[in-house]
A and B are shown apart, each in its own frame.
Chain A
C-alpha cells in the first residue's frame, strides 16, 4: 500500500452483527435477512443501489454444496445482482469487494458472512481443511493443534500460564459490555482462571474460543458515496493478506510471519493505533499476534472480548472489522486494526487498517 495515492478511498459505512450460543428456530436466511436489512437501512440504501454483493460461508459447516445460494434469499436477488462468494471468513469476502470497488465500476458493496457451528461438530469440520494425505486422516481437532502451538510457546519460555490467564481475563471483562459476547464476566478472578484444569493440555477452557452461531453484514462505499451514507465513515487505509505454509511441521508455530507481513503492507503504524481487534482461537494465538503486530500500551486490544468471548466460524474475522469500524463511525476511536485469520494455527492472515477523519 506504499502507493496509496493510486487507490480509491473506500470506507465501511454501516455494520450489523449478531452472535449467540445457539440459534434455535432461526435459519441462516432468517438471521441474515435481519442483519442485512439493518445494515442497509442504517446507511439508507436499497439493494438496487448496491453495485456488488460478496459473502463468506462454509458448505462443510452447512453440510450442503452451494449452501450460500439459499442465503441469497436474505439479500433479494431479483432484479439480478452482481454477486460472489468465498468459502472463507467474511473478512476475505470484504477483501474481494474492496478489490472490486478499486476497479472503479461500482461504488457500493454489501459484504456478509455467517456460520451456525451448533448444527454439527465444528472441530471435525475444521479437521477436513487439513492436508488430506498426511494429517486429515488422523482427525486432529483444532484445539489440539492449537495446544501443540501453546506448549511450544510455554516450553520456549515465550509465554507463561499467568500471561495466558491475563489475556482470558481481559476478554471476559471486555466482553461484559458486548451484547454479542457469549462468555463474559465483570468480576472474573485471575485465581479462578489459573485454577481451571486444562481441557486440551496446556490450554484451559478459558484459553479457547467460545464457539457461537451468528453473522455479520457490512456496507462499503467509495469516496463521495461513503460521505453521503455516513457522517464519519471508517476509511480503509490499508488492507493486505498473506499466507504461510500449509504444512504444520515446516512452520515455526510460535510465530505468524504472514500476520507480520500483512500488517506491514497494510501500513500498521503502532504509534497511532487506538484499537486492535484480533481474530484468534486461543489466548496463545492472541499473544502471538500481538507480538507480530508489535502492539504497545497505547493500543486497546479486543474491546469486544474477541473470539474467547464469541467465535463464529466464517464470521469472526468480518466481525473484527465491524467492531473496529463501528467504534470509528461512532467517534469512540480514530484509528484501528482489524485482523482475520484462516487455516490452522494462524496459517493465513488478513490485516485491515481503518481510520476516521
Chain B
C-alpha cells in the first residue's frame, strides 16, 4: 500500500445554499402568521383567495389587495394520517384537510388536530391553533382544532 498515496477526499454536504425572498404577497401572509393573523388576497371578481397568491390562478392577473380573514372555518374534505410523516411538523396522528376559512372563497391545506379519526367529519367547524414561538412559517399554525373543543375548555 505504501507506494500509493491516499486517495483525495472532500466533504460533501447536500444542501440548498440559497435564500429566497418570499415577496410582497407570500411574505405578507408569512408575517401575518407570526402575528397570529391569517390573510387572503382579493381577486378582480371580489372573491378572496386563502392562502394568497401573487397572480390569479385562472386569469393570471397580478393581485395586490390583502384582506384579513377569520381564524375559523369549515372542513371541506379530510383524511387521517397515521403514522404521521417523519418530516412533517406533527408527531402524532392527525387529519390532513382542506379548510375553507370564513371570509375565504378557496380552501387551504393544513392539519386538524383531533383526538381520533372518529372525531372527524366533513363540514365540521374548526379554529386555528398557534404555536408559542412563531417564525413566519406555515407551521407557525400548529393546525386547526374542532371549535367545540374551544367552547368546552
The answer for the CA separation of A138 and B88 in the assembled complex, in Å, is: 5
A183-208 CB contact bits vs B (8 Å, 1 = yes)?
Answer: 00000000000000000111000000
The answer for the CA separation of A255 and B68 in the assembled complex, in Å, is: 29
Flag if A151 contacts B87 (CB, 8 Å). Answer: no
Neighbour of B122 across the interface among A127, A137, A141, A155, CB < 8 A? A155
Flag if B53 contacts A247 (CB, 8 Å). Answer: yes
By secondary structure, the B interface counts as: mixed
Residues of B near A201 (CB, < 8 A) are: 79-80, 117
B72 CB-CB contact with A under 8 Å: no
Neighbour of B30 across the interface among A133, A139, A155, A202, CB < 8 A? A133
Residues of B near A148 (CB, < 8 A) are: 77-79, 96-98, 109
B49 CB-CB contact with A under 8 Å: yes
A343 CB-CB contact with B under 8 Å: no
Flag if A248 contacts B98 (CB, 8 Å). Answer: yes
The answer for the CA separation of A250 and B57 in the assembled complex, in Å, is: 8
CB distance from A142 to the nearest CB of B (A): 11
Flag if B96 contacts A140 (CB, 8 Å). Answer: yes
The answer for the CA separation of A149 and B138 in the assembled complex, in Å, is: 22
Chain B interface extent, by class: 20 to 34
Flag if B97 contacts A133 (CB, 8 Å). Answer: no
CB distance from B6 to the nearest CB of A (A): 26
The answer for the CA separation of A223 and B35 in the assembled complex, in Å, is: 64
The answer for the CA separation of A281 and B121 in the assembled complex, in Å, is: 25
A124 CB-CB contact with B under 8 Å: yes
Flag if B81 contacts A247 (CB, 8 Å). Answer: no
**Can you name the residue of chain B whose Cβ is closest to the Cβ of A147?**
B79
Flag if B79 contacts A247 (CB, 8 Å). Answer: no
Flag if B49 contacts A138 (CB, 8 Å). Answer: no
Chain A interface extent, by class: 20 to 34
Neighbour of A138 across the interface among B30, B50, B79, B138, CB < 8 A? B138
A113-154 CB contact bits vs B (8 Å, 1 = yes)?
Answer: 000000000011001000001110111110011011101100
A249 CB-CB contact with B under 8 Å: yes
A2 CB-CB contact with B under 8 Å: no
CB distance from B43 to the nearest CB of A (A): 10
A245 CB-CB contact with B under 8 Å: yes
By secondary structure, the A interface counts as: helix
Residues of A near B100 (CB, < 8 A) are: 249
Flag if A137 contacts B96 (CB, 8 Å). Answer: no
Residues of B near A139 (CB, < 8 A) are: 85, 87-88
Neighbour of B78 across the interface among A133, A151, A247, A248, CB < 8 A? A151
Flag if A133 contacts B22 (CB, 8 Å). Answer: yes
The answer for the CA separation of A194 and B26 in the assembled complex, in Å, is: 44
Residues of A near B81 (CB, < 8 A) are: 141, 144, 200
Given A133-B22, A155-B122, A250-B57, the answer on whether A144 and B96 have CB atoms closer than 8 Å is: yes
B111 CB-CB contact with A under 8 Å: yes
The answer for the CA separation of A200 and B81 in the assembled complex, in Å, is: 7
In chain B, positions 1-57 with a C-beta closer than 8 Å to chain A are 22, 26, 30, 49-51, 53, 57
Nearest first, the 4 closest Cβ-Cβ pairs linking A and B are A147-B79, A249-B107, A245-B57, A139-B88
Contacts A124-B85, A138-B96 supplied; 14 other A-B pairs, CB < 8 Å: A123-B85, A134-B51, A135-B138, A140-B88, A140-B96, A144-B81, A144-B96, A148-B78, A148-B109, A155-B122, A201-B80, A201-B117, A249-B100, A253-B77
* Chain A positions near chain B (C-beta within 8 angstroms): 123-124, 127, 133-135, 137-141, 144-145, 147-149, 151-152, 155, 200-202, 245-250, 253
6 A-B residue pairs with Cβ-Cβ distance under 8 Å, sorted by A, are A138-B110, A145-B96, A147-B79, A148-B97, A148-B98, A245-B57
